[in-house]
Amino acid sequence: MNVTVEIERRDSDPVQPEWACPSCKQAARLAEVRANLMVCPHCGFHLRISARERIWQLVDEGTFRELWSNVLTQDPLKFADLETYPERVREAQAKTGLNEAIVTGTAAVDGTQCVLAVMDFGFMGGSMGSVVGEKLWRSAELAAGEDLPLVAVCTSGGARMQEGILSLMQMAKTSCAVDLLNEATSPFVTILADPCTGGVVASFATLADICIAEPGAQLYFTGPRVIAETTHEELPEGFGSAERNLQLGHLDAVVARKDLRVRVGNYLRLLGGGEEPDRVTTTGGRERGQGGMAQTALERAKAFATYARRPFVGGDRESAGEAEEPAAREPSP
């Protein structure tokens, strides 16, 4: 006599997939998603990534050299809510492994040398405080003085509330940094990643020579829910999306993550005159960034920075270690 025994598991949760897209809900192997640069292989949804991951994806291998990592935030307002401001900063540092919401340095993008500034939304929502503004300023100062383009990857929730008016002042400071680049004729390219809002999108992020964004990125100053509740009107479909901003002329292009390195490299060569890196001008001309206007802009930058930076950030340039300061470039032949 044959006996068949059926065993059924009760009250057991269904087997969860290794990874599921937050947009299309399709399952995929995590290794496959990582190999696809953290983009859903089914619908193309671009996941948020850290600053270190962004640098690894964007720059040529082995070319990134970090600068000013010793510039640390202070607590000039002695701000406290449920936690003190220094406690929140320490938590963000432990979570992300970063000292602040921006990583800066020099690198090569598709063969073109540049100064790079990459924000990290995981660090207190990528909020812009005094250190973010200072490091962006130093990046612009270096680009203007060394005849290099500046590339900034922007993802932020806006100004950092724990620094109050000091964080709002960074909007003016970073806008002045863009003006410094313009006077020195140094190219400036920004990549807007999801999300980019508030004081960052209202300042340096949208003042670049070329401003591009990743597909589906949310880009706006004020969130759609707040606007809808304030105006009592229905917002247009796709409000705040990168695609909608492109239609309205606020962006120059929407570029998939896999194409960013080559596209940004092409933009840098285009803005630099279409020649190869380490180019020189034709006979009778002058090297870009070496004229009187660039030198005047650089002197203005140093005078302003000396006055503005010391009260609000730690790790001043005079006390920085040698490894933190950019090495002087050899003059072009």
CATH code at 188?
3.90.226.10
Domain membership flag for residue 328: no
Domain membership flag for residue 232: yes
Q: Tell me, yes or no, whether 112 and 215 share the same domain.
A: yes
Q: How many CA atoms lie within 13 A of 102 on its CB side?
A: 30
Q: Tell me, yes or no, whether 31 and 88 share the same domain.
A: no
DSSP 8-state code for residue 12:
P
Report d(CA 58, CA 227) in Å as an integer.
34
What average pLDDT does this structure show over 316-322? 42
Q: Tell me, yes or no, whether 123 and 264 share the same domain.
A: yes
Q: Tell me, yes or no, whether 264 and 166 share the same domain.
A: yes
Domain membership flag for residue 2: no
Q: Tell me, yes or no, whether 29 and 78 share the same domain.
A: no
> 116 pLDDT exceeds 90?
yes
Q: How many domains does the chain have?
A: 2
Q: Tell me, yes or no, whether 62 and 110 share the same domain.
A: yes
**96: helix, strand or coil:** helix
**301 — pLDDT class (breaks 50, 70, 90):** low
Q: Tell me, yes or no, whether 33 and 80 share the same domain.
A: no
Which of 7-11, 97-101, 287-291, 316-320 is predicted most confidently?
97-101
Q: Tell me, yes or no, whether 211 and 302 share the same domain.
A: yes
Domain membership flag for residue 26: yes
What is the token pair recorded at 189? Answer: 């390219």
Domain membership flag for residue 206: yes
Ranges assigned E (strand) in the chain:
19-20, 27-28, 65-67, 72-73, 102-109, 112-119, 150-156, 188-197, 210-213, 219-220, 253-254, 313-314
Query: What single-letter amino acid sits at 178?
Result: V
Domain that holds residue 35: 18-47
Output the DSSP codes for 168-216.
Answer: HHHHHHHHHHHHHHHHTT--EEEEEEEEEEHHHHTTGGG-SSEEEE-TT
Q: Tell me, yes or no, whether 29 and 174 share the same domain.
A: no
Chain mean position to CA 70: 19
Answering whether pTM is above 0.85, one says no
Q: What is the rounded average pLDDT for all residues in the chain?
A: 86
Domain membership flag for residue 326: no
Q: Tell me, yes or no, whether 114 and 210 share the same domain.
A: yes
What average pLDDT does this structure show over 234-261? 95
Q: Tell me, yes or no, whether 25 and 107 share the same domain.
A: no
Domain membership flag for residue 62: yes
Residue 5 φ then ψ, to 5°: -115, 125
Q: Tell me, yes or no, whether 217 and 71 share the same domain.
A: yes
**284 — pLDDT class (breaks 50, 70, 90):** very low
pLDDT at 273: 81
> 211 pLDDT exceeds 90?
yes
pLDDT in tens, 149-170: 999 999 999 999 999 999 999 9
Domain membership flag for residue 282: no
